[in-house]
A and B are shown apart, each in its own frame.
Chain A
Amino acid sequence: MVANTPEQEFETRELLINMGPQHPSTHGVFRMVLGVDGEVVTDVVPYIGYMHRGAEKLCETMDFRQGVGYMDRTEYLANFNAELSYVLAVERLAGIEVPERAQWIRMILCELNRLSSHFMFTGAFGTDVGVFGTAFVYSFREREVILDLFEEITGDRLMYAYFRPGGLAWEVPENFETRVHEVLLSARHGIREMDSLLTENEIFLARTKGVGAISAADAVDWGMSGPSLRASGVPLDLRRDDPYLYYPQVDFDVITGEAGDVFDRYHVRLREMRESVRIIEQCMEHLSDGPILPERLPRMLRTPPGEIYERTEAPRGEYGIYLVSRGGNRPYRLKVRSACFSNLQALRDMTIGHYVADAVVILGSIDIVLCEVDR
């Protein structure tokens, strides 16, 4: 409690506003201190680390199969993508050949996961912009359909632990293909509905256009990735530029924005969902019978010494696994390069000079997952 001295009586002071760690708009435990002059943000200091669980250290004590379950927990909205980075790193390091069917299923699941993650984003973003829960419930409805499918396949709605170094844990159910088509049908409907609810709405446009813009050069300098980077007009998509799985065999567009503002970040994601639907449809055509694990897979997987930085395009951007092995059945060092970690760094640049209400929208537009940031 600081009393006003007579000298300070008439000077307006910067109001410090604490947003988080327990605030309705911070998408998890994240704290940012806003310096506010009237309604305009003059300074932003983000504080992270509330969710730090030391996943990297834990993975050093776990063998490669156990580690998969932990990758889920570093990125709880795009678990398949996180698992994928990890198992790809292990496979490449150990030189394991993965059967074709397993790869295609992995691709389908990863793209479905991208859909579910982006649905989650549009919903949460709608709430940030101020739609009272409607966008949130609609997108959750669609996400739920996808999660139902995931549950039928893996047995869990969120922490799948389904990929294994070498392939998949077990075969997908028999009705997999029909179920995927059902899911795609509902996802298409969901995308359309989200489009008509938000994209053209004048108030939504007024809130998002020109807000939180970041230039392409700045975005690259900050190490941003994923849709947040592409919104600024940098066509960097690891699925195309640093291919993994069978992405070179499918046809899809890399969606980019122009202004790099909040609206572009939203719109890039929405359009990307349509591309994901396209990719999944093509994958379904390639899907054929076959094994899901290589024939000769040792019971306890060991890798030769060496290191690998395996990167994949997760819904939020580049999800990298830096795996250093000195031989043996567990990583010597495992570093998780999370997309949100880099994207969040740019928050200060994007927010300063905007209104308080915009700070919330900008934060929402980066689509942060604090679990991934803090690991």
Chain B
Amino acid sequence: MRGIVRSMATTLGAFVRGPVTREYPEGHRPIPERDRAFPLLLWDFEIDEPYCTGCHACERACPVECMTVLMKDNPAHTSLGGNSSRRKIIDKFWIDYARCMRCNICVEVCNFDAIAMNNTWSGHETSVYDRADLVMDLPQLLAQHKAGAIDEWVAP
């Protein structure tokens, strides 16, 4: 009987203290800086082109082979009259978010700090009706940083 009374008192205490959950779509919990959603590509605002040179380092390091990288000669390279020091630049880039396991290895192996993990809520809310829509192409991967909507964190 004493134990039952104690249990009842415990739940009553919780009843008085009130809820600890919050209403999800209305109120988003603040998200830590290091949060890892899905990887995205960064935009070099100085030269107005992606940082990524398409060096395949991330593609090779990816444990689940969710990336596909194609590079091309950079039309904006200084030798061609542009202002970029990158001889090669990314041509096409796909990341299959459905396969990505968010291990951060691509960020670690990148020599150009061109890729980062999305640490915003929009990076988590990626529900779609068709799995094929989770295969992100280059413009989609660049969009968020290009629009300045992300304060990225790259492991030191």
Of B10, B34, B102, B105, the contact of A196 (CB 8 Å cutoff):
B10
B96 to chain A, nearest CB (A): 16
B2 and A200: CB pair below 8 A?
yes
Determine the chain B residues whose CB is within 8 A of the CB of A152 once the complex forms: 32, 34
B6 at the interface (CB under 8 A from A): yes
Give a binary string over B141-156; 1 marks a CB under 8 Å from any A CB, 0 the rest.
0000000000001011
**Residues of A close to B32: CB separation below 8 A:** 148, 151-152, 155
> Are A66's CB and B34's CB within 8 A?
no
Interface check A332, CB cutoff 8 A = no
Partner of B155, one of A141, A148, A170, A199: A170
Using an 8 Å CB-CB cutoff, how does the interface string of B94-138 with A read, 1 for contact, 0 for none?
Answer: 000000011111001000000001010000000000000000000
A155 close to B34 (CB less than 8 A) = yes
Which chain A residues (177-201) contact chain B, with CB distance < 8 Å?
193, 196-201
- Asked whether, in the complex, the Cβ of A159 is within 8 Å of the Cβ of B34, the reply is no
Given known contacts A159-B103, A161-B103, A196-B10, A201 and B61 CB-to-CB distance under 8 angstroms: no
Residues of B within 8 A of A138 (CB): 14
| CB atoms of A197 and B4 under 8 A apart | no
The answer to whether A201 touches B6 (Cβ under 8 A) is yes
A66 partner, pick from B3, B20, B103, beta carbons under 8 A: B103
Mark contacts of A158-171 with chain B using CB atoms, 8 A cut-off: 1 yes-contact digit, 0 otherwise: 01010000000111
Chain A residues within 8 Å of B153, by CB: 155
- Taking the closest CB of chain B, its distance from the CB of A375, in whole angstroms, is 16
Which residues of chain B have C-beta atoms less than 8 A from A62's C-beta?
63
Contact for A197 among B11, B36, B102, CB less than 8 A: B11
The answer to whether B91 has its CB under 8 Å from any CB of chain A is no
Q: Could you tell me the distance in whole angstroms from the C-beta of B108 to the nearest C-beta in chain A?
A: 7
Bound Cα distance from A152 to B32, whole angstroms: 5
- CB pair A202–B4 under 8 Å, yes or no, is yes
A202-B3 contact in complex given A155-B36, A155-B117, A173-B34, C-beta closer than 8 Å:
yes
Q: Could you say which residues of chain B place their CB within 8 Å of the CB of A263?
A: none
Closest beta carbon of chain B to A263's beta carbon, Å: 13
Are B1's CB and A202's CB within 8 A?
A: yes
Once the chains bind, are A155 and B104 in contact (CB under 8 Å)? yes
A residues 38-78 with Cβ under 8 Å of B?
62, 65-70, 73
CA distance A20 to B20 in the complex (A): 32
Chain A residues whose CB sits within 8 angstroms of the CB of B140 once the complex forms:
none
| Interface membership of B7, Cβ < 8 A | yes
Residue A205 interfacial (CB < 8 Å) = yes
A153 within 8 A of B: yes
Complex contact B63–A201 (CB within 8 A): no
Return B113 CB to nearest CB of chain A, in Å: 14
The yes or no answer to B35 lying at the interface (CB within 8 A) is yes
Quick one: which of B1-42 are within 8 Å of A by CB? 1-4, 6-7, 9-11, 14, 20, 32, 34-36
CA gap between A173 and B11 in the complex, in Å: 36
Chain A residue at smallest Cβ distance from B35: A155
- Inter-chain contacts of B3 with A (CB < 8 A): 199-202, 204-205
Let me know if A122 is at the binding interface, CB within 8 A: no
Whether the Cβ atoms of B104 and A151 lie closer than 8 Å is no
CB proximity of B54 to chain A, nearest CB, Å: 20
* Assembly CA distance A201 to B5 (angstroms): 8
* Contact, CB under 8 Å: A69 / B63: yes
Give the chain B neighbours of A2 by CB distance below 8 A: none
A-B contact list, 22 entries, CB within 8 Å:
A65-B61, A66-B61, A66-B63, A66-B105, A68-B103, A69-B103, A69-B105, A73-B101, A134-B11, A148-B32, A152-B32, A155-B36, A155-B153, A159-B101, A169-B108, A169-B155, A173-B34, A193-B10, A196-B7, A200-B6, A202-B4, A205-B3
- Shortest 10 CB-CB contacts between residues of A and residues of B: A200-B3, A66-B63, A69-B103, A155-B36, A155-B34, A170-B155, A161-B103, A201-B3, A152-B32, A201-B7
8 more CB-based (< 8 A) A-B contacts, given A68-B103, A155-B32, A203-B4? A65-B105, A66-B63, A141-B20, A148-B32, A169-B104, A193-B10, A202-B3, A205-B3
